[in-house]
Amino acid sequence: MEQSTIFGGQFETELLIRRRDLMSVLFKIYLCIGFLFFLFCMGSLIFLLLGRKGEFRIYQLRDPQEMIRIFLGLILLMVGAFISSASLWWEKKWAVQVNLILLGAYFLMQIGNFFYLLYTSGLSLINTAGLFVVGLGVPYWILLFRIRHRWENEAVSKKELEAKGMSNK
């Protein structure tokens, strides 16, 4: 037989923290940038699919295999940006782990790209855009590590609060 507490459900509401409340303003700005990057990739993909062949001379894309590589790269970037941003915004429990894995994979790809360019063209061609994005990713990674434990073990999503009947609204 379960014994009821004298505090009722109101006491438990004070102990529960929403996952979105763990995000700082800077973290929310990073999420907005992720959503904008997703939209940029989607627009680029649509331009790539609907554009005429002549429009791609700007980018020197005469090789069909290069078009396919860019197409697949945009799809991967788009899916990664959407999963990263949306999973955090929707307060999924696994979101921080997935973001750390995706960001680590992206860092490894950029490091590999850096050494590939260094090997093939020397120091004359350094992927500064990739290094800039890695530089932007380090603070994001730090923000993820700071909230990781509380996100997974203490905080709950709005959906979980509503399921327990303890919504703040």
pLDDT score of 97 more than 90: yes
Quickly count: other Cβ atoms within 10 Å of residue 54's Cβ.
7
**CA torsion angle 96 97 103 108 (round to 10):** 160
SS3 68: helix
The answer to whether residue 7 sits within a structural domain is no
The answer to whether residue 151 sits within a structural domain is yes
- Encoding tokens for residue 88? 């955090």
How much is the pTM? Answer: 0.72
Task: Name the residue with higher pLDDT: 135 or 62.
Answer: 135
Whether 166 contacts 16, CB under 8 Å: yes
The answer to whether residue 21 sits within a structural domain is yes
The answer to whether residue 26 sits within a structural domain is yes
Instruction: Specify the number of domains making up the chain.
Output: 1
The answer to whether residue 84 sits within a structural domain is yes
The answer to whether residue 168 sits within a structural domain is no
Q: Which tens digit of pLDDT belongs to each residue from 145-162?
A: 999 999 988 888 888 888
**Cα separation of 77 and 83, whole Å?**
10
Q: Which tens digit of pLDDT belongs to each residue from 44-72?
A: 888 777 766 555 544 555 566 777 777 78
Single-letter residue type at 1: M
